[in-house]
């Protein structure tokens, strides 16, 4: 396995005590729409720890990270980091949160890692494939959309149009899928799709640290998505197979993107 993948798995395990034993007191955080979001001291401390380890091991690599370097420029070798994804869950004692990172070379992802410390589940993907705690993993087998579990992200904090689209999904598509799930953490959404626990993940894409690690992981595990739809509308419908994607795009996309 590539050096960067071995490194970030080791660092995430080293950082786990900071997360699990850290201060979960939440402070309000400014968002584009002015809706409620939070950050904790543990977010910052975890990020600082991981950044210091990257600087020691890979001096010269650039890092884009949620809390301290959100607007950093992307270099030839670049890390994209979210120290605690699912901070709202973390602050409230809900176990669905994790650390996630992707590594890019010349703008192309070549490695991703998601660690869910409460469950001690390490998801990693490289060009060799996708793995859960060292064992190969794949997305679920195809099934009718009506039998699928669909996880959707929290309602958007970036754009009102995204929020309306998510509302359309929840209010108008409930008969098209087996069950809706909202875990409140993209790291859980993507990793659960990658290992076959859910079949579909729907979200509007926002910040790189929210989606790059999970998308690369899921795709390396066999997930597929409509690239034109994502490029033109920022709408990601990520599915376990092409059969599920075809039905999801047909049934869900027009409803999600409907105005009013």
Q: What is residue 69's predicted lDDT score, i.e. its pLDDT?
A: 85
Tell me, yes or no, whether 92 and 70 share the same domain. yes
**Residue ranges making up the domain that contains 7:** 3-136
Q: What is residue 8's predicted lDDT score, i.e. its pLDDT?
A: 98
The domain boundary residue, chosen from 68, 101, 136: 136
Question: CB within 8 A of 248, min separation 6: which ones?
Answer: 145, 148, 200, 202, 237, 239
Token pair for residue 92? 């409230």
The domain boundary residue, chosen from 82, 102, 136: 136
Q: What is residue 157's predicted lDDT score, i.e. its pLDDT?
A: 63
- HEC letters along 136-186: ECCCCCCCCHHHCEEEECCCCCCCHHHHHHHHHHHHHCCCCCCEEECCCCH
10-residue mean pLDDT profile of the chain (260 residues): values are: 93 96 76 62 92 96 89 90 93 96 96 98 97 98 98 75 82 91 96 98 91 97 96 95 98 86
Q: What is residue 33's predicted lDDT score, i.e. its pLDDT?
A: 46
Tell me, yes or no, whether 63 and 163 share the same domain. no
Whole-prediction pTM value?
Answer: 0.92
Cβ atoms of 78 and 103 within 8 Å: the answer is yes
Tell me, yes or no, whether 76 and 165 share the same domain. no
Tell me, yes or no, whether 123 and 20 share the same domain. yes
Q: What is residue 29's predicted lDDT score, i.e. its pLDDT?
A: 61
Domains held by the chain: number: 2
Q: What is residue 216's predicted lDDT score, i.e. its pLDDT?
A: 98
Instruction: Give the CATH number of the domain where residue 39 resides.
Output: 3.30.540.10
Tell me, yes or no, whether 212 and 93 share the same domain. no
């Amino acid at each position: 396995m590539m050096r960067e993948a071995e490194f970030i798995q080791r660092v995430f395990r080293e950082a786990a005590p900071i997360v699990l034993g850290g201060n979960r007191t939440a402070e309000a955080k400014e968002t584009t729409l002015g809706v409620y979001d939070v950050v904790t001291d543990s977010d910052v401390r975890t990020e600082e720890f991981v950044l210091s380890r990257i600087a020691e091991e890979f001096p010269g690599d650039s890092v884009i990270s949620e809390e301290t370097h959100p607007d950093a420029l992307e270099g030839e070798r670049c890390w994209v980091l979210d120290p605690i994804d699912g901070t709202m869950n973390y602050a409230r004692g809900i176990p669905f949160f994790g650390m996630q990172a992707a590594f890019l070379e010349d703008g192309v992802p070549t490695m991703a890692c998601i660690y869910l410390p409460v469950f001690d589940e390490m998801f990693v993907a490289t060009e060799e494939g996708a793995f859960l705690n060292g064992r190969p993993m794949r997305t679920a087998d195809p099934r009718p959309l009506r039998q699928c579990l669909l996880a959707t992200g929290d309602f958007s904090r970036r754009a009102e149009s995204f929020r309306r689209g998510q509302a359309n999904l929840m209010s108008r598509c409930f008969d098209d899928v087996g069950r809706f799930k909202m875990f409140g953490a993209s790291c859980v959404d993507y990793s659960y799709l990658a290992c076959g626990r859910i079949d579909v993940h729907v979200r509007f894409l926002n910040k790189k640290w929210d989606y790059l690690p999970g998308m690369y992981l899921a795709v390396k595990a066999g997930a597929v998505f409509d690239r034109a739809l994502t490029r033109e509308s920022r709408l990601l419908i990520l599915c376990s197979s092409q059969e599920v994607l075809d039905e999801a795009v047909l049934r869900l996309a027009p409803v999600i993107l409907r105005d009013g």
